[in-house]
Amino acid sequence: MTKYVEDLNWRYATKKFDASKKIASDDLETLKKAVQLSASSYGLQPYKILVVQDDAVKAKLKEAGYNQTQFTDASEIFVFAHQTDFGAELVDSYIEIAAEANGVKPEAMQDYANLMKNSLLNLPQEAKAGWTARQAYIAIGNLLSAAAAHKIDACPMEGFNAEAFDEILNLKGTNLHAVAVVAVGYRSEEDSHQHDPKVRRPQESLFETI
């Protein structure tokens, strides 16, 4: 068994964090880098991640998160907010970054820019929002794997009042909407769930080789 698989077997959705343990700044930067390097369609990354450390804000999130203790006991709360709508500026801003990385002028990448715009900009708003949310979930997978590799506990969460989160995090009036949360930190010794067997569907029912 590879170390990576061992790390995935080690991780679980932590229900009770040790509030006295904080993630070191270097490790936190590694988690952020893992999210930054996540794959996304066309590389556009149509989302923003709010990393919440402030205790007062975490307390408000807990209230809007049905009083789940992860919101206040975890070291940090990664709130993934996806763009609910977008226009040409999403593509244009990416092209600026990509052109600089490739040492060319943005004009040299206009064919690619037009391909993306033709593919995305005519979608209905609801379809755009669904697409951007899916991109955020790819990044969440990267965060969970990176955390496990560094023996940092994590709990992905959808059980919260997203509208209240938007209000607390000043997302109202923007094109961003809280879609999912990952609490990160270190498990409490009192969390009995860490001893539960990992239950997953067998590979035979998940995979079919054609």
Q: DSSP string covering 132-195, please? A: HHHHHHHHHHHHHHHHHHTT-EEEEE--S-HHHHHHHTT-TTSSEEEEEEEEEE-B-TT-GGGG
Residue 170 pLDDT level (bands cut at 50, 70, 90):
very high
Residue 1 is predicted with a pLDDT of 67
* Percentage with pLDDT > 90 across the chain: 100
The stretch 41-46 carries a mean pLDDT of: 98
Residue 88 is predicted with a pLDDT of 98
Stretch (H or E) spanning 90: helix 88-102
Question: Domains in the chain, ordered, with CATH?
Answer: 3-206 (3.40.109.10)
Tokens of 158: 């959808």
172-to-47, 113, 164, 166 alpha-carbon distances in Å: 15, 29, 9, 6
* Percentage with pLDDT > 70 across the chain: 100
Which of 106, 113, 132, 111 has the alpha carbon at shortest distance from 40?
A: 132
Q: Which residues contact 49 (CB under 8 A, 6 or more apart)?
A: 32, 35, 78, 79, 80, 81, 139
Query: Does pLDDT of 134 surpass 80?
Result: yes
Which of 32, 13, 34 has the alpha carbon at shortest distance from 155?
A: 13
Stretch (H or E) spanning 81: strand 76-83
Residue 196 is predicted with a pLDDT of 97
Please tell me the total number of residues recorded for the chain in this structure.
210
- For the chain, the average pLDDT equals 98
